[in-house]
Amino acid sequence: MKAACSLPALLFVLTLSAQAAEGPLAGLPSKPGEHLTKIAALGDDSWLHLGSPAADPKWGKARGRSWTAAMPYASDLGVAFLYGEGVHGWWNEKTGRYMDDLWAYDVNAHRWICVYPGADVKNLDLKLDENGFEVTKDGEPIPVAQMVHGYQAVAYDSDRKKFLFMPCPGGYDSILRKRRDTWLKGPDKKPAKPASPWYFDTATGKWERRAVEGGAPRSSFGDVLVYSSTLKQAFFQHANQEVWLYDYAANKWTKKTPRGPAPPWGIDPTACLDTKRDRVVMGGGSYPVAKGPNALWLYDLKTDAWIDPKPSGQPCRGSNSYATNIATMTYDAANDVALLNRHGGEARERGLYIYDPARNAWSGDLKPFPKDLRWQQVNAFYAPELGVHVFHTAGDSRDDGTIWVYRYRRK
């Protein structure tokens, strides 16, 4: 993939014919805005503050999400998805919607699109289908309070044009709980069958979840989900103990038995996909935090093996803690590096750190943040067409978010 291009060529890339046929994402990518010219002009190791994105005309602005490091990016649509609760059990009293809403940040237009507004807390009325899944009266599945935080358990299937996540149910509002109990504990209660990940189809604008044969993994706090376009399957790691692959075409989970040393933390690492080597890069997890000189691990999708790379250097001034509430990790395809943004925790440990897989080394220089950048809850993605890393920072469950853009190096 080419790292950067001239502005006319860039605008051509970002104005490809619309891919989404129905629903809130129809007509994308959007017409490029003037802010793209500013992004194109960014030099090496440079920041740009884009300010607050324009609101969705009906549902307003996306809110800050704690413990949600990743915003899966869809190059074909020019949007990055934001999903997962912030404050546990929070719902918007103005809209009456629970915070299981799905949003898309439109890079071209610097605006929010509400993809799915969330469960209607006071009026929700569902039933259980033959698989034991919650569905509407018309049989449409919707994910009610399925994601207490996003962690790294969200992804984008670039082959099928679908956002996907693995659930992590947590506590939810008492009003919503009372309504759900009418069908979850009623006379028609059915045990849920083993299931695929949750999918949102960007073409139809509908949610999807399928019963699977042969079993499925458990999912919970701090899991990792990554989609590999090489394998055309989703990699899933649960609780640092299990590795599974999901094949959408076959509608089947396969449990793996990786060779090599397992990661040394408990749960909740930051992660990204090294698309050049088809390796999942992850590290800095919690409960417990890794001991020893290294908290960066690799999973090789081609060989089904864990790798302790033993890189030279260390990020975060030697700290092994860079989990999803204090850090993000994004892969820079143009420069073939992983960028770790340690925005929280001890002040002396904050900054940008670069892992170079070709040299198997952390950069020796901490890259400080701009003086006027005030991190809150941070969600991140890399936009390959622009060659930049994009960060959304907002208060937890608050709609005061702004967008910052960073370029590591221009190719």
pLDDT number for residue 16: 46
Share above pLDDT 70 across residues of the chain, in percent, rounded to a whole number: 95
Q: What is the residue-wise DSSP string for 23-89?
A: GGGTTPSPPPPTHHHHHHT--TTEEEEEESPBPBTTTB---B-TTB-B--EETTTTEEEEES-SSTT
User: Which range is least confidently modeled, 37-41, 122-126, 150-154?
Assistant: 122-126
pTM: 0.94
Question: What CATH class has 7-407?
Answer: mainly beta
Average pLDDT over residues 112-129: 95
In this model, does residue 10 exceed pLDDT 70?
no
- 2 or 175, which is more confident: 175
Residue-level pLDDT at 388: 98
* Surface-to-core class of residue 394, CB atoms within 10 Å of its CB (0-12 exposed, 13-18 middle, 19+ buried): buried
Q: Which of 359, 360, 354, 357 is nearest to 341 (CA)?
A: 354
Is 191 a residue whose pLDDT tops 70? Answer: yes
Count of residues in the chain:
411
Query: Has residue 13 got a pLDDT over 70?
Result: no
Average confidence score pLDDT of the chain: 93
Overall average pLDDT of the 288-314 stretch: 97
Residue 21: pLDDT band (50, 70, 90) is low
Number of H helices, E strands in the chain: 3, 28
| Neighbour order of strands in the sheet with 162-165 | 154-157, 162-165, 198-201, 206-208
pLDDT at 9: 43
Mean pLDDT, residues 177-205: 90
At 41-56, the pLDDT tens digits run: 999 999 999 999 999 9
pLDDT digits (tens, 9 = 90+) for 355-395: 999 999 999 777 789 999 999 999 999 999 999 999 999 99
Q: How high is the pLDDT of residue 366?
A: 75
